[in-house]
């Protein structure tokens, strides 16, 4: 993290704000392009200082989040995660129709505990039906499992890093104090805005594809053609100008001089 440190005061390192701003801009551009291509983003932050900020930013832009615990294999073993989410939907359906209360007290308590556990760990990714296009983490040192799985699958990552983290573990490093609740909120809100911009670009592209604007026909520029018998030829019908008569047409001149053009009226 030496390139991202501005100065040192005793045992405290001061992060260069210019490098922080540069990392935020690069991450915003990356997320906007990924979301515009049709992929999703997952916000990951399981430390206490980042949980609420991660949930708020993800809900604000309509993306997924993990704020309690990163389960091993959440990306590399995504099929099993989907099966657990189906189990959660099954338990919720049993709770709604009353069949859960019909079980014995011990069995109902066990099923409720299972439902509560799955909901706590996977509620933020229950609508994620496929692998995400990018991952945003807060404190790369703590979320090393998520970064390892993303690197294994080739998923781009962006991370908020403190001076005790390794910037090589993420693709886009955002140096900042990841223990500051306010700092994490500001950075995640900026990234959420970029995701919202990417979603707007997707809707505009879909609208242009489904309902393209009709093109206005161009007026014909073919010159008016007249026949010797005074009738209009096929080319004259396509123009707005009236076809010339036999006397004014070049074909019926017979070598005579062309008639003088009409003089404009006075005052015109």
Domains of the chain and CATH, by start: 2-74+135-206 (3.40.50.10490), 76-130 (1.10.287)
The tens-digit pLDDT sequence of the chain (268 residues) is 999 999 999 889 999 999 999 999 999 999 999 999 999 999 999 999 999 999 999 999 999 999 999 998 999 999 999 999 999 999 999 989 888 888 899 999 999 999 999 999 999 999 999 999 999 999 999 999 999 999 999 999 999 999 999 999 999 999 999 999 999 999 999 999 999 999 998 777 666 666 555 556 566 555 555 554 555 554 444 444 444 444 444 444 444 455 555 555 555 4
CA 76 – CA 131 distance, rounded (Å): 9
Q: What is the dihedral of CA 64, 65, 66, 70, to 10 degrees?
A: 50
What pLDDT, on a 0 to 100 scale, did the predictor assign at position 256?
47
| Measured CA distances, 209 to 91, 109, 205 (Å) | 41, 52, 6
102: helix, strand or coil: coil
């Amino acid at each position: 993290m030496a390139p991202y440190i501005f100065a040192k005061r005793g045992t405290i390192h001061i992060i260069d704000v210019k490098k922080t701003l540069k990392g935020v801009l690069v991450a915003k551009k990356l997320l906007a392009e990924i979301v515009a291509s049709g992929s999703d983003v997952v916000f990951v932050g399981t430390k206490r200082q980042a949980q609420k900020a991660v949930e708020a930013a993800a809900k604000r832009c309509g993306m997924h989040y993990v704020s309690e615990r990163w389960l091993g294999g959440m990306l590399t073993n995504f099929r099993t995660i989907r099966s657990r989410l189906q189990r959660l939907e099954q338990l919720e359906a049993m709770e709604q129709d009353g069949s859960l209360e019909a079980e014995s007290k011990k069995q109902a308590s066990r099923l409720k505990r299972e439902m509560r556990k799955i909901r706590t760990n996977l509620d933020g990714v229950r609508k994620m039906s496929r692998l995400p296009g990018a991952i945003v983490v807060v404190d790369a040192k703590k979320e090393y499992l998520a970064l390892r799985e993303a690197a294994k699958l080739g998923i781009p990552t962006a991370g908020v890093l403190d001076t005790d983290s390794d910037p090589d573990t993420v693709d886009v490093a955002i140096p900042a104090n990841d223990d500051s609740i306010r700092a994490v909120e500001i950075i995640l809100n900026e990234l959420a805005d970029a995701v919202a911009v990417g979603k707007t670009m997707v809707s505009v592209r879909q609208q242009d594809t489904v309902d393209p604007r009709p093109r206005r026909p161009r007026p014909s520029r073919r010159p008016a053609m007249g026949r010797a018998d005074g009738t209009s030829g096929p080319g004259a019908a396509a123009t707005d100008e009236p076809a010339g008569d036999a006397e004014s047409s070049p074909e019926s001149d017979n070598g005579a001089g062309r008639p003088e053009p009409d003089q404009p009226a006075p005052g015109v």
